[in-house]
Amino acid sequence: MERQKLFDRKMRFVRLESKGKVYSPRVDSYYERQHSILCYDIELPGVQWEDLKVVLGYSSITRQKSLWVWGMSLSPLWLENFRSQANPSSPASMAGSNSNIGESLRLQLVSAGSMTLIPAIGPIHHPMQRTMERIHGEFYRLLSVPVQTRSGDIVINLVNGILSIAIQCKPPLTPNELLVTQEELDVKWR
């Protein structure tokens, strides 16, 4: 239950930081014919087990069985802010807003005629330079699985930022069986 509370607190924080945007992580999928295993590899750099949920269930609309992968990717800056909110006596939370790298400067302009100095709007803070190319925030991915899939048929590993999901399946339909299951639709234009 404690894990769920921490997950919920982090998710509220992430939703505020990412302004409610949800992204869909990249996925590679393949079928290993020799062992009848359906595999998904999902890119989740920096994601920890405690920030991740995988749920097997049915869609209420399509009644298809699916695997929901849901969680959050915290940027290092968000993680620092989250920890400082959780522990107000930490050095990061005590530093305040004056912890920017760089000096506070007051710009002054010189008037051409009288050489009078005119103060600019106010202090300028040089922010710490950073580059953020990876996506951070809440993520969600819906994966198709065979209808007969049970939780015992699924093996999940998270290694080096890749969530690998292996699903034991029945052998695929033969070409003859596949033809029997297909039905051509009569499309009418209105």
Mean pLDDT (the chain, rounded): 76
Cα dist from 129 to 18, 33, 126, 160, 170, whole Å: 20, 49, 8, 27, 53
Q: Confirm whether 114 is domain-assigned.
A: no
Q: Confirm whether 73 is domain-assigned.
A: yes
Phi and psi at residue 143, to the nearest 5°: -115, 135
Closest CA to 54 of 146, 143, 147: 143
pLDDT per position as a tens digit, 170-184: 988 888 887 777 788
Q: Confirm whether 121 is domain-assigned.
A: no
Q: Confirm whether 154 is domain-assigned.
A: yes
Q: Confirm whether 112 is domain-assigned.
A: no
Instruction: Identify the pLDDT of residue 136.
Output: 77
CATH code, domain with 149: 2.60.40.790
Domain extent for 57? 2-78+134-171
Structural domain count, the chain: 1
Instruction: Identify the pLDDT of residue 184.
Output: 80
Q: Confirm whether 90 is domain-assigned.
A: no
Cα 48 versus chain centre, distance: 11
Instruction: Identify the pLDDT of residue 152.
Output: 95
Lowest model confidence (mean pLDDT) among 95-109, 125-139, 148-162: 95-109
| Separation CA 155–CA 165 (nearest Å) | 6
Contact 167, 145 (CB under 8 A): yes
Q: Confirm whether 157 is domain-assigned.
A: yes
Instruction: Identify the pLDDT of residue 95.
Output: 44
Helix (H) or strand (E) holding 82: helix 76-86
| Separation CA 71–CA 6 (nearest Å) | 12
**For residue 127, is pLDDT > 60?**
no
Q: Confirm whether 91 is domain-assigned.
A: no
| Separation CA 165–CA 142 (nearest Å) | 13
Identity of the residue numbered 89: S
Place of tokens 């991740």: 52
Helix (H) or strand (E) holding 181: helix 175-181
Instruction: Identify the pLDDT of residue 5.
Output: 82
Better-scored residue on pLDDT, 101 or 75:
75
pLDDT per position as a tens digit, 106-123: 344 444 444 444 445 555
| Separation CA 76–CA 93 (nearest Å) | 15
**pLDDT-derived band of residue 103, with 50, 70 and 90 as boundaries?**
very low
